[in-house]
Structure 1
Amino acid sequence: MRSAAIAGRQTVPEAAPATTEEQIVRAAVRLFAERGFHATGIRQLAEQAGINSSTLYHYMGTKEDLLFRIVQDSSKRLIEAARQLTARELDPPAAICGLVQIHVWSHATYSAETAVVDNELRALDKPRREAAVRLRDRYEAFWSKTVEAGCARGDFRVPDRRIARLGILQMCSGVAQWYSPSGKLSLRDLVAAHAQMVLGALGASRDRDQVRTLLLEADAQPIADRVWSQP
């Protein structure tokens, strides 16, 4: 069985669901994160959502339909937040700090959802898995373009930009596995620490005060709050 801690670390209080669909999606996120996709049955999903199995099929279709819905929704929010941030044409060091803030914040705040997306993609059939990978590639393109722009300007110095991007994203995604809001490290400090490590990995080391200045310049949190508050 998956660690229940992953499902339990959703750090934003869940409001009462406004619709039956929301109830189903939230139940699926909890169960897929805790037990895994294949170990979760339709009956368990229906019970967790407080409905019967026929109602679940009526609203969401198959279990795989539900997983794909979760993957799509999560990926599209990341894409939209990254789009809004990079559209402001910040200098690359500020832009990369803003991308780090969006990614670390979302993975720490919605740890169950992001764990499902990161761990259960292989459970999708080939067409939907390919669609999910295309969404992931769209999101990662914002990181690639920011790293490329920084290298072109001389802000960043990396021997292999692809490996740098993959390593950075893996590090930032990892907070979903271990961060706890009840721990000693605040989410603000967590973001700053990761932004500092990312800049170091890109050959653009800054001290903590300089990193906080770049994060203030990026001002990414209002974007994240707005995107994730939308239904």
Structure 2
Amino acid sequence: MATTNQPSGHRNNGGRMKAKTSRRARSVRTEMQLFRAACWLFSERGFHGTGIRDIAEIAGVAVSGMYYYASSKDEILEAVTRRVMETLVAGSEATLRDIDDPAERLVALMAVHVAFHARNPRAAKVADHEFQALTGEAREGVQRLRDAYEAVWADTLRAGVRHGVFQDRGNVARLALLQMATGVAHWYRADGALDIPQLCERFGDMALSLMGANHEGRLLKVQDLNMPDSELLLERIELSIEPRDGF
């Protein structure tokens, strides 16, 4: 029989480490299931129409076990809306990192926003429409993320006006562009006529048109510019808490 000098305690430690890793993996899966259930319910019934027991039932978790992950329904809503905004902010920053031209920056921002809302419609609707239910520090924290995200849009539009690329449409332009793209979450279907990259291109053209984007008097279209890489874009806006297969 082969022998080894490895202490028996070493094997026990390895077993405990594997057990801890397995528990952490189960914990992460359970947390994701709770957030996905909350996204689905909040988007279907609204925050106030959803009870904590509803989330637990859909997620297949005991109500008592939920409190390991969140102390209240409000905390779950905060976590969902925060993840949405963090993904939008990070996705925009990564996509804009090497783009200086205002027209290309606008097209890139529109692509991030449209792709996010097309790929993550339920989480997007929760963040867009149930945000008002947050209160106190939770609301203030998410609001700071929203303000930072919208500031990038405002800065891009101002830069375009300053360089003579855009017409000055005032603050209403930013609101109109964001609202137009946000609506994608309500009607886009993956089995429809357009895939997400094609949809981003269409919205990019509409954004350029709304801003009167031009180069030396010639109106600009997306085909005149560099679009973000579609594979990288979709990777950046992928949201793990989006319920993709329903419940």
2:190 alignment partner, SS class? coil
Q: Does the CA-based 8 Å contact 2:56-2:63 persist in structure 1?
A: yes
Q: How many residues align?
A: 214
> By how many angstroms is 1:224 displaced?
4.3
Q: Does the CA-based 8 Å contact 2:87-2:236 persist in structure 1?
A: no
Distance 1:149-1:208 versus aligned 2 partners, 3 A rule: closer
Superposed, 1:76-115 pairs within 5 Å as 76-115=86-125
Larger displacement relative to structure 2 (131-140 or 185-194): 185-194
Hey, what does 1:154 align to over in structure 2?
164
Q: Is 1:177 aligned with 2:189?
A: no
Superposed, 1:70-219 pairs within 5 Å as 70-160=80-170, 162-204=171-213, 210-216=221-227, 218-219=228-229
Q: Does the CA-based 8 Å contact 1:81-1:224 persist in structure 2?
A: no
TM-score normalised to structure 2 length: 0.79
> By how many angstroms is 1:29 displaced?
0.4
> By how many angstroms is 1:230 displaced?
7.6
Q: Distance in 1 between matches of 2:237 and 2:221?
A: 27
Cα deviation code 1:55-89 (max 9, x no counterpart): 11121210000000001011011111111222213
Q: Does the CA-based 8 Å contact 1:112-1:176 persist in structure 2?
A: yes
Q: Does the CA-based 8 Å contact 1:102-1:220 persist in structure 2?
A: no
Q: Does the CA-based 8 Å contact 2:86-2:145 persist in structure 1?
A: yes
Which residues of structure 1 form unaligned runs of 5+? 1-15
| Paired-residue identity, % | 36
Larger displacement relative to structure 2 (131-140 or 81-90): 81-90
Q: Distance in 1 between matches of 2:89 and 2:116?
A: 12
Cα deviation code 1:127-185 (max 9, x no counterpart): 3222221110100111111111111111111231x111011000010111111112223
Computing the radius of gyration from Cα coordinates, the structure with the larger value is 2
Hey, what does 1:6 align to over in structure 2?
none
Q: Distance in 2 between matches of 1:51 and 1:118?
A: 27
Q: Distance in 1 between matches of 2:214 and 2:198?
A: 17
TM-score normalised to structure 1 length: 0.84
2:68 alignment partner, SS class? helix
AA partner of residue 174 (structure 1): G
Q: Distance in 2 between matches of 1:202 and 1:171?
A: 14
